[in-house]
Amino acid sequence: MQNAIHQPQSILVLGGASDIGRAIVRALDSPTLRRVILACRNPDDVETTGLSDHAEVVAVAFDATEHAAHESFVQSMAATYGDLDIVVQAFGRLGADDGDDPEAAARLAEVNYVGAVSSGLAVARQLRAQGHGTLVVLSSVAGVRTRPSNFVYGSTKAAQDAFATGLGHWLHGSGAHVLTVRPGYVRSSMSAGVPEAPFAVDPADVAAATVKGLRRGSDVVWVPGILRWVFGILRFVPGPIWRRLDR
Active site residues: 153
| Nearest in space to 17 (alpha carbons), one of 81, 78, 62 | 62
Peptide bond into 224 cis (omega under 30): yes
Helices (H), the chain: 19-28, 70-81, 102-109, 115-130, 151-171, 203-216, 227-234, 239-245
What's the gap between Cα 156 and its chain centre? 13
Tell me how crowded residue 153 is: count the other CB atoms within 10 A of its CB: 25
- CB proximity list for 222: less than 8 A, separation 6 or greater: 141, 182, 183, 209, 228
| CA–CA dist 92, 76 (Å, integer) | 23
Strands 56-61 and 176-183: unpaired
| CA–CA dist 59, 36 (Å, integer) | 8
Question: Residue 223 pairs with which residues in a beta bridge?
Answer: 183
